[in-house]
């Protein structure tokens, strides 16, 4: 039980550290211009992905299935992030 709580804390801390990168970059350059909404969406994506990965690690016992599912989850995260950032698919949610 203690190890599971440590992994949840690691997920939250890692997400916060990743969100600090654009926050710090905004202090030094005008090329990074995130709004509060951008930080909220990025936080939801990062924490949600971390929690889904945690559930996968808890529920799936076979290593091959774990790796395949975790890779698929990370690919989906990267595709959603790229779509929101620059619009690789041209959806109404694209960053253009």
Q: What are the tens digits of pLDDT across the range 11-30? A: 999 999 999 999 999 999 99
What does the radius of gyration of the chain's CA atoms come to, in whole angstroms? 16
Cβ proximity of 47 and 12 under 8 Å: yes
Q: Give the DSSP H or E segment for 52.
A: helix 36-59
The residues of the chain scoring below 70 in pLDDT are: 1-4, 95-96
Residue-level pLDDT at 5: 81
For the chain, give every domain's residue range. 2-86
Give the predicted TM-score (pTM) of the model: 0.85
Burial 28-48 (b: 16+ CB within 10 A, else e): eeeeeeeeeebeebbeebbbe
The per-residue pLDDT for 92 is 73
């Amino acid at each position: 039980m203690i190890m599971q709580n440590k992994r949840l804390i690691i997920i939250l801390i890692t997400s916060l550290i990743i969100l600090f990168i654009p926050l710090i970059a905004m202090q030094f350059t005008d090329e990074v211009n995130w709004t509060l909404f951008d930080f909220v969406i990025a936080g939801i994506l990062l924490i949600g992905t971390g929690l889904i990965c945690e559930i996968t690690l808890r529920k799936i016992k076979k290593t091959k299935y774990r790796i395949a599912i975790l890779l698929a989850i990370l690919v989906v995260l990267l595709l959603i992030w790229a779509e929101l950032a620059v619009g690789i698919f041209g959806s109404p949610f694209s960053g253009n």
